Structures are given as C-alpha cells and as structure tokens.
Structure 1
Amino acid sequence: MTIDSSGFPAPPALVEHARRFQAEGGTPAPPRVAATVLLLRPAGSDFEVYVIRRVAAMAFGGVYAFPGGGVDPSDSEAHLDWAGPDPLAWAGRLGVAPPAAQAVVCAAAREVFEEAGVLLAGPDTGTVVGDVSGDDWETARQDLEARRRGFAGLLAERKLTLRSDLLLPWSRWITPEFEPRRFDTYFFVALLPEGQRTRDVSGEADHTMWVRPTDALARAQAGELTMLPPTLVTLAEVIAAGDLSDVARASATRDAATPVTPRLHLPEDGTPHFTLA
C-alpha cells in the first residue's frame, strides 16, 4: 500500500495552532532533539509494529505514534558499556557530533524501555536480556521514567551492555514552525528481542497496540486512527521495504541525517493539508 505524499490531512487542533501562529506573527520555538523507535515483530508471513496513542493533554495528544521522547541531558553524559557502532560511527549516520549521536542513541533505547517496557541491552555484546516484566524491573523502569535514576546507572547496576546495533537508523523529522512544542526527531527501527514483550506502562499513552503496518495505514486513511505525516510516511516506507529482513537491509542505506519538515497549507478555499519539504 502507498500513500499520496502530495497531501496529508491535518487534524483540526493543528490547523487552529497554525492559524493562530500566522495571525499573531509567532516566533518558532527551537526544536528539542528527540528519538523514536518502530518496534517490529513477526506476524505470520507479515510483521507488526507497536503504536501508542498519546493522552489528550500532551503535545500531539490523541495521535497514534511510535514510542519515543526527548533527549535528556544525562543521555549525552552517560558512561556505559556499549555494543555495536561507536558514537563516532553513529555521528556519521545521524549527521551530528559524536556526543550528540550518543545522546540520541541512548535516548532511543531509554525511551523504548520507559514507554514500552522493552530493553535493548544484554549481559555481553552478543546477547539480549529476556523477560523484563517482573516487579523489580518495573520498579527500575518507574524510577528511570521519574528521573530518580539514570539509564547508564540502571545498566551498570545490572551489568548490562547497551546494544546500539539493535537500533537501525531510518529517518529524521522536524516539527513545523507553528507548533508550540517542536521536536527534531530521529527515527529508528528495532526488532522486538526474543523473550521480551511490550507492556502498556507509560502514563503518556492511553492506548497501545500491535498492528500490521498495512492495516494501520489503511485505518488511518479511513479516518479510524489519527496519525501525523512522519508516522504515515514511515509506515509506508517499511511496507515498501518488504519483509523484516528487507527492512533491516534497507536501513543501511537510509538517510537519517537530512531532516524532513511537513508544511501545512491553509488555503482560503479548500481543505488544510500537509505536504513534505
């Protein structure tokens, strides 16, 4: 299934933000660096992606997206065991300096644990922890989410290595200028580690589900699910890549450094819609 990138429907709340921004001659807020992760798992001959719906009170509330969030200052300062490409190699893929690249990768791994209960780490460079849904892990996750502890400290305490090689860079999106909260978001793909399962743990989501990308895109096009252009385009891209192995191979040649910014058009006669810039 494909989508017509010449235009995407705009949720009414975003249209209201844009009109107010234009009328008041607003100044764009600086975008906060963020990371988001498309968790994928096999589903018969196809595969599924994990999506969450943000609670209405949040930025982009009521919209389905992938687990993720802003980079925390501790993400760039963390000293932790590291497997996979080093920060210098990640810097080349993400188009930023090595410390910033480390922060983005750490944020991606931290956020997917905070929001989905999935930990991309293992006791050595070639393994991944199994089930992390026990009470002790949940206490650790809550402490991490509340910033009572750092991600590096959690991994060190449990003698775990961050598996950066399990995060596959995919794309980069920047929120339009009219939004009061803006993000410069790096998108990653990751396969759900064997033995782990997602859990509806984040207080930032009011609904979560595993869904085939083709079904998610069809339901979004039918108006059943509200999604913004980054989510719609990314779903279409992983569908076009093929099966899970093809998605992993495609990530090797993806441009994850050049940002894409959706542009909202507000015609006097016609329907407000996004295009890509």
Structure 2
Amino acid sequence: MTEIRTAATLVLLRDGAGAIEVLLLQRPDRGAFGGGWVFPGGKVEPVDEVGGDPQLAARNAAVRETAEETGLIVAPESLEPLSHWSPPPQLEARFHTWFFVAQAVDGEVVPQPSEVVAHEWMRPADALKRHGAGGLRLFPPTWVTLDTLMAYPTVDAALRGIRDHEPRRYETRQDAARGLALWHGDEAYDGGADTEEGPRHRLHVGSLPWRFEHR
C-alpha cells in the first residue's frame, strides 16, 4: 500500500486593484507538479512536528516551505485553515494536504531556483481565465481554491469569511472516462448514476476551460 504523507500549502493574499491577489509559483518541469502553477508549500518534515498535533505540524510546514521558496516570513499564528485535501487512491505519490490562507507580509519575493522557475501575483479570476485559455497549468486543488477566493473583494473579507467556517474537506475521486474530479455530496461519488436534478460536487477537467458544479 502506498504511504500517505502530510503536506501543507500557504495561499498568500494581498489587496490589488479592485480584487485580492494571490502569489502563485511555477514549478520546474519535473516531478508530480512539473510545470504547474501552485501556491508555496511542501511536505511536513520532522522539524515541523510539535506535540503530536497534525494541523500544527502542517501550519509549521506551510510557514517553513514558504520561507524557503519565496523568502517571505509569515507568522504561524496568522494562518487560517481553508481546506484539507485527500488524493485519489490511484495516485502513486499521495499526500493529505492542508491549505491555509494568510495576509502577505511586506517584502520582495526571492524565489528558490531549484523549486521555482517563475512567480506572479494574480487575481484569482485572471488566473482561472489564463488557465482556461491554456496559458497556465493548474491542478484541481489550486483551481478550486482560486474559484473559492473569487467571492472575496478584500483580504480582510477573505480572512473573516474563512475564519467563520470549518475547513472544507475534499476526498477526491476521479472518473477519468468522463473527465471528472468528484467529491462528497455528488450523486456519482460512490458510483451512483447521474440524474438530471441530482446533487453535484464535481470539477469537469476533460477539456478547457474547466467547469465547477456544486449544487
């Protein structure tokens, strides 16, 4: 059985012209996320683990990885948990990943060359538009996070809204034949057949632009 490890991601937010902006990093053209645009983050290491609390370890990892990859130092207590992602069972490299959000600190982004080949502050709507046109490679957790953040006009609004809700949990299942990523609440999640008015919680990833259904 494939070992499942824990990882953490930090979505840094800042106020832009009429909308919030997030920091996205492009990974080198290798590995599981080769060429993809992602948020800073990485796997939890022993140095991150304190008192047996898995969320605290993930929080520490998110801060450490962000500092290593971008040079930006964020206080662990400023992070708000946004979501928790579990991977499809068929993946070889599997990580349970915590997504946190925090207000960006002042300072220049200094990317780590071995981990980051490009970086850019983007409005979530612009990032999704560029992805839909084939200009950015995104993965479903990043795409869904960007879609979620479009609802917030400012960083303060985002942090308040996220703080008021329990972290969203996504245990992903894939329907490769139909080009779908499925989550709890979708009528086809446990193998059921689609009906015209049935509940949906899915992302159509078979072709661009991707399309999210949640009802």
Q: TM-score, normalised by structure 1?
A: 0.62
8 Å contact from structure 2 (residues 152, 158) kept in 1: yes
The correspondence for 2:138, drawn from 217, 227, 230, is: 227
8 Å contact from structure 1 (residues 71, 103) kept in 2: yes
List aligned pairs for 1:109-188, cutoff 5 A. Answer: 109-120=63-74, 163-188=75-100
The answer to whether structure 1 residue 49 and structure 2 residue 5 are counterparts is no
Listed as ranges, the gaps of 5+ residues in structure 1 are 1-26, 78-96, 121-162
Matching residue's letter, 1:262:
T
8 Å contact from structure 2 (residues 5, 96) kept in 1: yes
Tell me how far apart the structure 1 counterparts of residues 4 and 35 of structure 2 sit (CA, whole Å): 21
List aligned pairs for 1:47-126, cutoff 5 A. Answer: 47-77=20-50, 99-120=53-74
8 Å contact from structure 1 (residues 53, 62) kept in 2: yes
Aligned-residue offset at 1:273 = 3.0
Alpha-carbon displacement from aligned partner over 1:7-26 (angstroms, at most 9, x marks no partner):
xxxxxxxxxxxxxxxxxxxx
8 Å contact from structure 2 (residues 173, 183) kept in 1: yes
In structure 2, what is the equivalent of residue 273 of structure 1? Answer: 180
8 Å contact from structure 2 (residues 70, 112) kept in 1: yes
Alpha-carbon displacement from aligned partner over 1:28-82 (angstroms, at most 9, x marks no partner):
x2321011001111222322111112222221212211000000011114xxxxx
Specify which structure has the higher proportion of helix.
Answer: 1
In structure 2, what is the equivalent of residue 149 of structure 1? Answer: none
Aligned-residue offset at 1:253 = 2.3
Tell me how far apart the structure 1 counterparts of residues 56 and 139 of structure 2 sit (CA, whole Å): 27
Compare 55-64 and 32-41 and name the one that shifted more. 55-64
In structure 2, what is the equivalent of residue 215 of structure 1? Answer: 126
Aligned-residue offset at 1:228 = 1.2
Alpha-carbon displacement from aligned partner over 1:62-103 (angstroms, at most 9, x marks no partner):
2211000000011114xxxxxxxxxxxxxxxxxxx8532321
Tell me how far apart the structure 2 counterparts of residues 202 and 263 of structure 1 sit (CA, whole Å): 33
Tell me the number of residue pairs that the alignment of Structure 1 and Structure 2 aligns.
184
In structure 2, what is the equivalent of residue 200 of structure 1? Answer: 111
The answer to whether structure 1 residue 263 and structure 2 residue 173 are counterparts is yes
**Percent same amino acid at aligned positions?**
33
8 Å contact from structure 1 (residues 37, 67) kept in 2: yes
Q: Which one has the largest radius of gyration? A: 1
SS in 1 for 2:66: helix
Specify which structure has the higher proportion of strand.
Answer: 2
**Pair 178,48 (structure 1): closer, same or farther in 2 beyond 3 Å:** same
Listed as ranges, the gaps of 5+ residues in structure 2 are 185-215
8 Å contact from structure 1 (residues 31, 174) kept in 2: no
Q: How large is the RMSD of aligned CA atoms in angstroms?
A: 1.8
Tell me how far apart the structure 1 counterparts of residues 3 and 123 of structure 2 sit (CA, whole Å): 34
